[in-house]
Amino acid sequence: MPFELPKLPYAVNALEPHISATTLEIHHGRHHRAYVEKTNQLVAGTHLAETPLEELIALVAPRHRKAALFNNAAQAWNHGFYWNSMSPDGGGEAFGDLGKRIEADFMSFNAFKEAFHAAAVGHFGSGWAWLILDGGRLRVVTTSNADTPMAHGKVPLLTLDLWEHAYYLDYQNHRSDHVAAFLAKLANWKFAERNYQRAAHRKAAE
């Protein structure tokens, strides 16, 4: 089956004033759609055409042997994960087992926020900021362009898009304000907690 553009998990204006409806319309309806459509074009008529997206990324990720396919498939997946990393009632502090783990691995939630903000603002060029589970420890990392921690055996828990098209209409070149708004008002800790719990259950089953 062809890959499909996932629907936004909220109304297009639901993240205002932090992310405008115009930004979401362009970002989701044009950029994300283009990655999905290009992925479909690249796998059409091949043995990869019916491969689930996560498996497809894993297959083409080693040394990016199929760079165009990796870039488009990874961007299609990254964006779907990104929409779910935000919520109209997001922000605040992590809770549950993930909240406890953040306290343990970063010493405090504020220390985590500072690390995430610094990594996101300091990242050069386009890419993504992530909270990941790396083996037995939480880490904040950034990836460039389409790269994704999933391609390196890490478990993504939450992400923020650092490409300029994600924030330029709303914040111009003030990436720091974009990152601050995400952490304070949009970060979907319910989604991150579910991802952490799934990872913990998989680990326990091994």
Per-residue pLDDT tens for 17-31?
999 999 999 999 999
User: Which structure tokens are listed for 190?
Assistant: 């319910």
Domain 96-205 belongs in CATH node 3.55.40.20: yes
* CATH code at 21-84: 1.10.287.990
At 68, the amino acid letter reads A
Q: What is the pTM of this model?
A: 0.96
| Alpha helices per DSSP H over the chain | 21-26, 33-43, 53-60, 67-84, 96-106, 109-122, 168-171, 175-181, 189-205
For residues 98-111, average pLDDT: 97
* 3-state SS assignment for residue 34: helix
The overall longest dimension of the chain from CA atoms, in Å, is: 51
Q: What is the model's pLDDT at position 63?
A: 66
Question: Judging by beta carbons within 10 Å of its beta carbon (0-12, 13-18, 19+), is residue 133 exposed, middle or buried?
Answer: buried
Domain with CATH 1.10.287.990 in the chain: 21-84
For the stretch 53-94, pLDDT in tens is: 999 999 998 766 689 999 999 999 999 999 999 999 999 999
Domain with CATH 3.55.40.20 in the chain: 96-205
